[in-house]
């Protein structure tokens, strides 16, 4: 697999490991939450890894990997972070967002499995990282599809909070996720389609994080 400039020797097995970790994310409450796995790679070796909720309920995988699992590790600087979901730009309860942890830890490059379909986050995490000099990479397409399938229920929930979506549009989107083999889904992931100007929906969505 060719993935461009790759001084930390990120390999296909590292993407696969992040997805394996995401599957370990525990249920948190009666709402769907994203399943997220994160792996930190330096010189071809995994030096930290985590999944959402591994330590505390709702704790993000990137935060756990970069703070809890890597605290005091000088090798974390200039490493690559592989995360199945676009890092967040805001958290509820005054928590520090994942993009801030990434910048603070001086991560060289972030490999993103899928953009976050939450309209409050979608594309903003990637933009923040780029604006702060952090390189961005993508999972190979087959892994992206696996992540979208893994999080279909969460994306369905987020879509249901969008007042601009009709029931027919919602059902069509859910059916697309179930089929998961269409190129349309990858295009949605790349460009982003959800918008919301409804404050109640925004509050519910932030609460999901």
CATH number of 12-207: 3.40.140.10
Segment 182-199 shows an average pLDDT of: 47
Structure tokens at 158: 């987020």
pLDDT at 84 over 90: yes
Q: Give the burial string for 120-130 (b: 16+ CB within 10 Å, else e).
A: bbbebbbebbe
Q: Where are the beta strands (DSSP E) in 65-158?
A: 80-83, 109-112, 135-138
Which of the four pLDDT bands, split at 50, 70 and 90, describes residue 20? very high
Tens-place pLDDT, residues 86-138: 999 987 777 889 999 999 999 999 999 998 888 788 889 999 999 999 999 99
How far apart, in Å, do the first and last CA atoms of the chain sit?
A: 33
Residues 6+ apart with CB under 8 A from 177: 148, 149, 152, 155, 156, 185
Mean pLDDT, all residues of the chain:
80
For 136, the 3-state DSSP assignment is strand
Q: What is the pTM of this model?
A: 0.76
Distance CA 161, CA 119 (A): 10
66 and 54 Cβ atoms separated by less than 8 Å: no
Separation CA 7–CA 4 (nearest Å): 9
- Which pair of structure tokens corresponds to residue 8? 């930390």
Partners of 40 in the β-ladder: 48, 81
Other Cβ atoms less than 10 A from the Cβ of 82: the count is 29
75 conformational bin, left if phi > 0, alpha if psi -120 to 50, beta if neither: alpha
- For the segment 195-207, what is each residue's pLDDT rounded down to a tens digit? 334 444 444 434 4
Structure token pair of residue 166: 């009709």
DSSP class per residue in 109-128: EEEESS----TTTTTHHHHH
* Residue found by looking up tokens 């296909």 in the block: 12
Q: How far is CA 148 from the centre of its chain?
A: 10
């Amino acid at each position: 697999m060719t993935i461009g400039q790759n001084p930390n020797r990120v390999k296909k097995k590292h993407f696969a490991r992040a997805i394996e970790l995401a599957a370990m994310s525990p249920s948190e409450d009666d709402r769907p939450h994203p399943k997220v796995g994160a792996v930190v790679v330096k010189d071809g070796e995994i030096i930290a890894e985590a999944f959402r909720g591994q330590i505390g309920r709702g704790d993000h995988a990137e935060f756990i990997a970069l703070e809890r699992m890597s605290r005091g590790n000088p090798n974390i600087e200039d490493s690559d972070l592989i995360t199945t979901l676009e890092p967040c730009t805001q958290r509820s309860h005054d928590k520090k967002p994942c993009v801030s942890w990434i910048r603070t830890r001086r991560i060289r490059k972030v490999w993103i499995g899928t953009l976050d379909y939450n309209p409050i986050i979608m594309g903003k995490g990637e933009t923040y990282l780029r604006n702060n000099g952090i390189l961005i990479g993508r999972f190979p397409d087959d892994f992206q599809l696996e992540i979208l399938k893994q999080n279909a229920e969460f994306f369905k929930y987020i879509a249901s909070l969008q007042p601009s979506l009709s029931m027919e549009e919602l059902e069509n989107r859910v059916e697309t996720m179930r089929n998961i083999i269409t190129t349309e889904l990858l295009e949605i992931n790349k460009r982003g389609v959800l918008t919301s100007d409804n404050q109640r929906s925004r509050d519910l969505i932030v609460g999901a994080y």
